[in-house]
Amino acid sequence: MEAQDSGALELVELRVNGVGRRVGVEPRRLLVDVLREDLGLTGTNVGCSQGVCGSCTVLVDGATVRSCLMLAVQAHGRDVVTVEGLADGAAMHPVQQAFLDAQAQQCGFCTPGFLATAVELVERDTQPSETEIREALAGNVCRCTGYEHIVDAVIRAAEAQAETREAG
Amino acid sequence: MTDTTTGTGTITHSTRYVGADLPRKEDPALVRGSVVYVDDVQLPGMLHAAVLRSPHAHARIVSIDTSEARALPGVHAVLTGEEALDHIGPLARFCAEEVVEHAIAVGKVRYHGEAVVAVAAESRYVAEDALAKVRVEYEPLPVVTDVVSATAEGAPLVHENLESNVVYHHEFAFGDVEGDFAGAAHIVRRELRWPRATAAPMETNGAVVKYDPATGRMDVWSNTNLLNFGAWVMSATLRVAPHMLNFHPMAVGGSFGSKHFLAKQVAIAGALAKATGCPVKFMEDRADNLLASDAQGPERQHVAELALDADGTFRSLRIRLLDDYGAYFMLAIAGNTNPLSQIVGPYRIRSVSYDVSAVLTNKNQQGVFRGAGADVTNWVLERLVDAAADELGFDPIDLRRRNLIQPDQFPYKIPTGNSYDSGNYPAVLARALELADIDHWRAEQERAREQGRYIGIGIATAQQRSTYYASEFWFHNVGAPAPFTTTAESVRLRIGPTGGVTATLFTPSWGNSQETVTAQLIAAELGVDPAGIAVDLAPTMHGLPSAGPGGSRMTVMLSGAITGAARKLREKIFQIAAHRLEASVDDLELRDGVVSVRGTDSQMTLADIGMQAYWQSVNLPPGMESGLEATFTYDPPFFSLPNDERTDLGNFYPIVGHGCHVVVVEVDPETGQIDFLRYVAVHDHGTVVNPRSLEGQIRGGIAQGIGIALYEQVAYDSVGQNLAGSLDEYVLPGAPDVPRVEIAFVETPSPWTAHGVKGGGEGGRMIAPPAVTRAVEDALLPFGARFDALPIRREDVVELCAGESA
């Protein structure tokens, strides 16, 4: 991070949780910092800034991204969904509801990242095995739960997703 | 349907709130991301701090040039340790020894990662730019990186004002250890090593500090647990009067004990806030946390001996240990006094010697990590029990069963003086063996061996003390006076004019479901719907006495505080209702938020009563105060003082849970891969308030226990470089590494606590390590396995098996 970067702002236009946003950012600034500080979306948490823990995971064009490893300028023209964008008003996203039902969180700090990973998984695969779920979650670290309740939640969410698809 | 006769009317519940898996009140905000952690706090004009850290483990600071850093646009302040002394004093410490620590190093650095310069700037980016422009000249000094080199003749001193790196030594002796060893038929001896680990909560430590020189008031938003304590403990460091320090309790992204203090993080933000006149946020990044959190776990070398009779009856326990405390000694030997509460485990052992040497080295210092040192002694004791079974030819289950304290022996005073309040250990063991289907797995183990596969079974029966008293922090200073004798916890309950119930707590929320259990306990006491109860956290200027979470105390303490406050509220509710309904208090009952005269349709809702209490004083009994609010401060129960000689430490941790873990693994000797085939945990934490929540804490603790057994270690190299500066190097168990855990509860209510609750937050981590260690060892006994040190890494397994053919 060199000081001469300061001041030279680039205009980044992106969609965040369905809303078009325009922000002027230094090229070196990370997506997570722009989400949290410039856009006030503090639901996304920074656990390590090293791309290891997965706490800062968000969805960019539907795919999981570690927002501590992506520059904000790289999100130009793209569609970002954070934890604040999962629920539809008062109605929780089915994955959020499954996390509630399974008591899948304790301190909750890693939860937004797990939610993003779980959303990506159940939208891709409505019948994952427990082993596949655990492998899919391997890039997200939780220090509180021992993972079992999170795995339970993802199983429920996948089942709910499958029922929705059958009904639809 | 349960009835509770209170003496002031009767409470009837149509729902059983205590013991129900009610949804957690905390969770909707957590899954929506609307919860506020310290890093989410933004104040107008707030600056961001970053810290330059020492690349050396031990060095004299010759000079620091900060001129270029100061000249950088956007930089508001640059503080060396010397300059910070204009704003803050040394950090508070709980040790009697003269081990002085500054938030930013003064004169020399004593470990890799110690703070050398702190910057406050308009953004974290600019603050880090400034750090890159600071020039520090160091004169490296010889390094001591382990207890052997630190205690050698002529070893370099970490603190020159001390004569030795052995900052504390004492042999605690309880009972006739010499006699019991002299009369023993067998003595089992092991040299056991426990690795340095760290809690690594997903949220690092941080503080936002705002100082107003006009009023002299300082506001602190932090994930510290040092709230009510903080005001007076931090006052001297921050140079702000205790009653002008306002700590704001917050949602915390995991602690596991590691956020008890955070004196350094608060002090750095505080110094910069005073220096700049602006609010300052200092949020550790992950490297800051792993290098310098001041909360690493114990790193102990033990010589441990168990004396037995010929029939396997335990007689005496002798532990001599060297504990690597790192470069400072903030909490003194709290990690070694804590285990004395349960040093004999669940067993009848009549004498104990515990010889502890605390050694200073060039490493980040120890703090608290889930188990607080008793995790280590659980492992040591269970290692000795398994060693005794191996060496003397006992069945490990029979040997444990023979020595368990029996249900009719409670309260049971152990040799150290602490008492165990209650329990039924044989029932826990029996339930665990039944659930695990131990006979099936022993047969499977035999069959697998014939096929050249290696299945192992590990069993641990161990304690989880809860609900500490403050004597733990000073009784190691023999003969010293007893300054602190309580660690109280408070609650404020209010029923508003429309009947809404608000509970105010005075502690941070660590993820331990305290809002949920608060609502359940209030519901049980007042017969109201827990879903509608509001729970708030009040800052210290509005605070009542509180020590916060830690030591698995919150559910016990909240049970006591809520029961007390609800009793006061009920009295007033019934008095108002009796007055309005022209009935006797004895004829009233409170059910589902309605007070009625038994056997009639005469009734008032809590909303009716609230309206009278707040706005219609003419309707109240003569002389009654308006309002409907009660506070209660609960002192932990069943305490007694230590004696002056410290041959009896008194009851300082007497609400004691228990558990039995049965672990079955299969180990691949060629790859070192360890697969869990079965994991059963049966725990007794007295009355369980929210089973799913407690199960979650146990499962999470077990994951951490698997971590210490198989993965986790903060390693330092020979020149004191911390090799675990990122989560790539400090390996935490992931979802594929942790098995499903079947949990069952045996509930032996504590006779000493409200609702019979005992603490349970640490049990998973305190019991898993010996069970996992033994399971892997048992699998590899054909290779001559004997694990005296953790973690057991895959390469260790491969090396062992390559060297020995089965």
Question: How much is the ipTM here?
Answer: 0.97
d(CA B400, CA B387) in angstroms, rounded, equals 12
Q: Is A117 on the interface with B (CB under 8 A)?
A: no
Of residues A3, A53, A109, nearest to B129 (C-beta):
A3
- What does chain A come to in residues? 168
Q: Is A129 on the interface with B (CB under 8 A)?
A: no
| B2-35+488-634 placed in CATH 3.40.1160.10 | no
A167 close to A157: Cβ distance less than 8 angstroms: no
Q: Which amino acid is at B222?
A: S
End-to-end C-alpha distance for chain A, whole angstroms? 50
Domain boundaries along the sequence of chain B: 2-35+488-634, 406-467+653-806
The minimum CA-CA distance between A117 and chain B, rounded to whole Å, is 13
In the prediction, which pLDDT does B480 show? 67
% residues pLDDT > 90 (chain B): 92
Query: Which residues of chain A make contact with B133, given a CB cutoff of 8 A?
Result: 3
Report the pLDDT averaged over residues A143-156. 98
Per the prediction, chain B carries an average pLDDT of 95
The minimum CA-CA distance between A65 and chain B, rounded to whole Å, is 17
Q: Is A6 on the interface with B (CB under 8 A)?
A: yes
Question: Above 60 in pLDDT, residue B343?
Answer: yes
Domain boundaries along the sequence of chain A: 3-85, 94-167
Q: Which CATH superfamily is domain A94-167 in?
A: [2Fe-2S]-binding domain (1.10.150.120)
Question: Above 50 in pLDDT, residue B233?
Answer: yes
Q: Reduce the DSSP state of residue B220 to 3 states and report it.
A: strand
Query: Which residues of chain B make contact with A106, given a CB cutoff of 8 A?
Result: 254, 511-513, 696-697, 700
Distances, alpha carbon B575 to alpha carbons B441, B568, B669, B673, B688, in Å = 62, 11, 73, 67, 32
pTM of the model: 0.97
Question: Above 50 in pLDDT, residue B479?
Answer: yes
Of A67-81, B215-229, B486-500, B724-738, the poorest mean pLDDT is in B215-229
For residue B212, the tally of other CB atoms under 10 A from its CB is 13
In the prediction, which pLDDT does B11 show? 55
Instruction: Please state which CATH class domain A3-85 belongs to.
Output: alpha beta
Do the domains at B2-35+488-634 and B406-467+653-806 have one common CATH topology? yes
Q: What are phi and psi of B69, to 5 degrees?
A: -65, -45
Q: Which CATH number fits domain B406-467+653-806: 3.40.190.170, 1.10.357.10, 3.30.365.10, 3.40.50.300?
A: 3.30.365.10
B582 close to B602: Cβ distance less than 8 angstroms: no
B781: Cα separation from own chain's centroid: 34
In the prediction, which pLDDT does A8 show? 87
In the prediction, which pLDDT does B94 show? 86
Q: Per the CB < 8 Å rule, is B693 touching A83? A: no
Question: Above 60 in pLDDT, residue B624?
Answer: yes
Report the pLDDT averaged over residues A124-141. 96
d(CA B715, CA B368) in angstroms, rounded, equals 18
Q: Per the CB < 8 Å rule, is A146 touching B700? A: yes
% residues pLDDT > 70 (chain A): 96
Query: Per-residue pLDDT tens for B659-707?
Result: 999 999 999 999 999 999 999 999 999 999 999 999 999 999 999 999 9
Nearest CA in chain B to A108: B30
Do the domains at A3-85 and A94-167 have one common CATH topology? no
B255: Cα separation from own chain's centroid: 8
Of B8-12, B125-129, B375-379, the poorest mean pLDDT is in B8-12
Query: Per-residue pLDDT tens for A41-95?
Result: 999 999 999 999 999 999 999 999 999 999 999 999 999 999 999 999 999 999 9
Nearest CA in chain A to B732: A141
Query: Per-residue pLDDT tens for B246-294?
Result: 999 999 999 999 999 999 999 999 999 999 999 999 999 999 999 999 9
Query: Per-residue pLDDT tens for B140-162?
Result: 999 999 999 999 999 999 999 99
Question: Above 60 in pLDDT, residue B215?
Answer: yes
Q: Per the CB < 8 Å rule, is A146 touching B129? A: no
Question: Above 90 in pLDDT, residue B24?
Answer: yes
Closest Cα to residue B256, out of B515, B510, B635, B621? B510
Query: Per-residue pLDDT tens for B360-374?
Result: 999 999 999 999 999
d(CA B518, CA B522) in angstroms, rounded, equals 6
In the prediction, which pLDDT does B136 show? 98
Alpha-carbon Rg for chain B, nearest whole angstrom, is 28
Query: Per-residue pLDDT tens for B434-459?
Result: 999 999 999 999 999 999 999 999 99
For residue B128, the tally of other CB atoms under 10 A from its CB is 18
Closest Cα to residue B167, out of B355, B357, B366? B357
Q: Reduce the DSSP state of residue A38 to 3 states and report it.
A: helix
Residue A26 banded pLDDT, cuts 50, 70, 90: very high
d(CA B467, CA B490) in angstroms, rounded, equals 14
Q: Per the CB < 8 Å rule, is A50 touching B728? A: yes
Distances, alpha carbon B153 to alpha carbons B156, B284, B485, B643, in Å = 9, 38, 40, 36
The angle that helices B691-710 and B763-779 make with each other, rounded to 10 degrees, is: 50
